[in-house]
């Protein structure tokens, strides 16, 4: 009898070992899938790129009154303020006022009335002015352009 009981005990132990092995394999597979999923999610993130510049002081410019491109019976009167990047010295900007105003005048006089009408046209004009000024300054010192007055006729 003792011989018959011993083999039964041996049969139960291999079954327990198999079930433990199955649990370990399943846990390993689940962990592997979780790690691969996390890696793929991390790998799909696009680089954040350069940090968005922080705006500091605003600098008001004198008004502009220009004839718009096309026929000479349309004009634009606008006043612009520049949103400067935080830490930029205003004196540096005022030292280049003539070049900045020339840049803005060149951009404004190249526009037709239809180009600057509506919100989309004004936003595009702001971007073009900001990019033009930053090109003149050789540095992205201007973060925003604000129209404090904008009238066409």
Q: Please give the distance of CA 122 from its chain centroid, rounded to a whole number.
A: 20
Q: Pick from 77, 80, 78, 76: which is nearest to 60 by CA?
A: 80
Residues 67 and 114 in one domain: yes
Is residue 50 included in any domain, yes or no? no
Residues 82 and 26 in one domain: no
pTM of the model: 0.66
Residues 116 and 148 in one domain: yes
Q: What is the mean pLDDT of residues 127-149?
A: 93
What digits encode the pLDDT tens for the residues 43-72? Answer: 655 656 677 778 888 999 999 999 998 877
What digits encode the pLDDT tens for the residues 4-46? Answer: 554 544 555 666 667 788 888 888 888 888 887 777 766 655 6
Q: Where are the beta strands (DSSP E) in the chain?
A: 55-60, 64-67, 75-85, 142-152
Domain that holds residue 1: 1-45
Is residue 66 included in any domain, yes or no? yes
- Per DSSP, the three-state class of 87 is coil
Residues 28 and 96 in one domain: no
Residue 125 CB-density burial (10 A; 0-12 exposed, 13-18 middle, 19+ buried): buried
Return the CATH number at 72. 3.30.479.30
Label residue 78 by pLDDT band (50, 70, 90). very high
Q: What is the pLDDT of residue 91?
A: 87
Residues 120 and 73 in one domain: yes
**Structural domains of the chain, count:** 2
């Amino acid at each position: 009898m003792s011989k018959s009981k011993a083999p039964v005990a041996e049969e139960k132990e291999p079954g327990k070992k198999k079930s433990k092995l199955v649990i370990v394999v399943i846990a390993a597979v689940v962990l592997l899938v979780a790690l691969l999923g996390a890696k793929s999610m991390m790998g799909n993130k696009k680089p954040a790129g350069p940090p968005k510049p922080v705006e500091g002081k605003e600098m008001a410019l004198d008004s502009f009154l220009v004839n718009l491109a096309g026929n000479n019976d349309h004009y634009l009167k606008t006043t612009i303020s520049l949103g400067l990047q935080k830490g930029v010295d205003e004196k540096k900007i005022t030292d280049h006022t003539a070049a900045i105003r020339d840049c803005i005048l060149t951009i404004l006089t190249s526009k037709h009335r239809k180009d600057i009408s509506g919100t989309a046209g004004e936003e595009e004009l702001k971007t073009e002015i900001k990019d033009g000024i930053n090109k003149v300054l050789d540095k992205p010192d201007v973060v925003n352009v604000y129209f404090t007055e904008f009238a066409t006729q």
